[in-house]
């Protein structure tokens, strides 16, 4: 099912006193109280100290038209930024939504009311409004927010473009989250391809779906080997954005996302505990589809092509076995030592095909390894790069969007872990450096092109709800990828 983006967002220029709404959100800092007489007493009594995401709700505050005032902590002003504001907006909306407030506004401090702050406030509210319980049938008294208004005392009318950009980004991120949230019986490779095709038609993107026969003709043996054990047919989803004629085209960006709609591990089967979460193994592919949804609307100056290899990794009687050797689209042979290292096998053929389609710069995103979770926990995306310039662009985009990424090593010495006596390379290394050897494997198929790999295994799914985001899919990397394209 498609998400229902029913909450209206608006931007208004007016003073605090005239904002009429059910609840007005104001950020209060540790060192300075907002210039609202109604909250001075809270600071004086130490009931509110401005710590990050602390909250205090005032009923019918004197001198205001708002029915309620929610004071939310911003921490220290010198550490407050657009990412902080995004979290504050999401946390505030999630706090107010169950209380049946349908018309909510957020007043931005004059020091934090630039374009990036307006966009962040809208993003935070829309992302906070997302719920993961769409398939529950016994929901009662469902609370909804009809309108979220960003209020600045004064400002440039050009801020409206920032509001719209924030809306596009957050709705596209929620579009990605909705797909990841679907159980595997409802989100097969065929359904994922259909969702992408429908979205492409709605927003004017080119779309091509390669079926099993076409992939076999091309020679995508690495991808097709993973798909052998499932009754669900695989699909290679290709989405194309092209800028208007005459736009400078100094690069062709290729976005490649892992689309394993369910990963049992294959014959190298996973433990039962936690396997139900493996519906999220297509989060990288969903991120690329969501990013393309936003790119189509924001219209960067460079062409962008997204490739999402979509498969199920199952244990059927035709499933590939440990020890099988497959021939990839590049011609390299791969010894499959572990069928649960399937993501790199499908990405290998997708990266090769992206180069054949003319992509000059490659970025892939994948829930690729448990090893990256051991290394970085659930805080940072693991970033691997073959090219410093592209790495810097991705890191700058991530910083601007508040998505934490950490560069991991990719030294040539790690190739020593990937040796096979029977094929050009195995699909796993030894025990050590698992996230790095997985990236080293993929680098072979980027084959000299500037390339960045994002291992999102630890960040694409929230096991517990955050104050600003529901439990479940996070939609990580969507905003970074869009910023990368639009800021090229």
Rounded to whole angstroms, how far apart are CA atoms 287 and 262? 16
Helix orientation angle between 159-181 and 283-298, rounded to the nearest 10 degrees: 150
**What pairs with residue 362 in β-bridges?**
254, 451
Active-site hit among 87, 165, 344, 391: 344
344 labelled catalytic: yes
Helices in 45-188 by DSSP H: which ranges?
A: 82-96, 115-129, 159-181
Rounded to whole angstroms, how far apart are CA atoms 475 and 179? 10
Q: Which residues contact 229 (CB under 8 A, 6 or more apart)?
A: 266, 267, 312, 313, 314, 315, 316, 317, 318, 319, 320
Rounded to whole angstroms, how far apart are CA atoms 65 and 62? 8
Active-site hit among 51, 164, 212, 270: 270
**What pairs with residue 69 in β-bridges?**
24, 58
164 labelled catalytic: no
Rounded to whole angstroms, how far apart are CA atoms 411 and 417? 12
Beta-strand ranges (E) seen in 411-476 are 425-426, 451-455, 461-462, 472-473
Q: In the sheet that 325-327 helps form, which strands lie side by side, from edge to edge?
A: 325-327, 333-335, 425-426
Q: Which residues contact 141 (CB under 8 A, 6 or more apart)?
A: none
**What pairs with residue 13 in β-bridges?**
152
- CA-based nearest residue to 405, from 433, 363, 445, 344: 363
Rounded to whole angstroms, how far apart are CA atoms 487 and 481? 10
What is the set of active-site residues?
Answer: 270, 344
């Amino acid at each position: 099912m498609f998400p229902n983006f029913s909450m209206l967002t608006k931007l208004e220029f007016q003073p605090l006193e005239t904002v009429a709404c059910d609840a007005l959100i104001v950020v209060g800092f540790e060192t300075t109280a907002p210039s609202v007489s109604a909250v001075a007493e809270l600071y004086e009594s130490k009931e509110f100290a401005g710590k990050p995401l602390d909250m205090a709700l005032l009923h019918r505050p004197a001198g205001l038209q708002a029915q309620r005032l929610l004071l939310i902590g911003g921490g220290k002003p010198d550490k407050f930024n657009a990412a902080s504001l995004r979290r504050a907006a999401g946390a505030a909306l999630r706090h107010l939504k169950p209380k049946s407030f349908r018309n909510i506004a957020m007043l931005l401090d004059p020091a934090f009311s630039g374009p990036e702050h307006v966009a962040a406030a809208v993003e935070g509210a829309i992302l906070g409004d997302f719920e993961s319980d769409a398939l529950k049938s016994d929901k009662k008294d469902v609370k909804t927010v009809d309108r979220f208004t960003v209020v600045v005392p004064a400002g440039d009318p050009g801020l409206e473009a920032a509001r719209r950009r924030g809306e596009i980004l957050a709705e596209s991120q929620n579009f990605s989250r909705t797909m990841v949230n679907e159980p595997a019986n409802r989100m097969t490779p065929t359904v994922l391809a259909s969702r992408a095709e429908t979205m492409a038609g709605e927003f004017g993107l080119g779309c091509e779906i390669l079926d099993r026969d076409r992939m076999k003709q091309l020679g995508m043996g690495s991808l097709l080997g993973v798909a052998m054990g499932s009754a669900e047919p695989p699909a290679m989803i290709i989405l194309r954005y092209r800028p208007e004629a005459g736009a400078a085209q100094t690069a062709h960006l290729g976005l490649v996302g892992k689309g394993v709609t369910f990963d049992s591990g294959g014959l190298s089967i996973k433990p039962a505990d936690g396997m139900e979460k493996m519906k999220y193994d297509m989060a990288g592919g969903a991120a690329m589809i969501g990013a393309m949804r936003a790119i189509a609307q924001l219209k960067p100056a460079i062409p962008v092509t997204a490739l999402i290899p979509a498969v199920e990794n199952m244990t059927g009687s035709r499933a590939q076995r440990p020890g099988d050797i497959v021939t990839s689209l590049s011609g390299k042979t791969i010894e499959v030592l572990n069928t649960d290292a399937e993501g790199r096998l499908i990405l290998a053929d997708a990266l090769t095909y992206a180069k054949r389609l003319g992509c000059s710069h490659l970025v892939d995103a994948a829930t690729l390894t448990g090893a990256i979770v051991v290394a970085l926990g659930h805080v940072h995306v693991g970033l691997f790069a073959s090219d410093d310039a592209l790495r810097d662009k991705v890191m700058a985009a991530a910083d601007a969007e508040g998505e934490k990424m950490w560069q991991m090593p990719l030294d040539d010495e790690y190739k020593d872990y990937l040796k096979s006596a029977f094929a050009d390379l195995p699909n796993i290394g030894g025990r050590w450096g698992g996230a790095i050897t997985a990236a080293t494997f993929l680098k072979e198929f980027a084959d000299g092109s500037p390339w960045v790999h994002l291992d999102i295994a630890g960040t694409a799914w929230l096991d517990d709800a955050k104050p600003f985001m529901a439990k479940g899919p996070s939609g990580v990397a969507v905003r970074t990828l869009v910023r990368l394209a639009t800021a090229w």
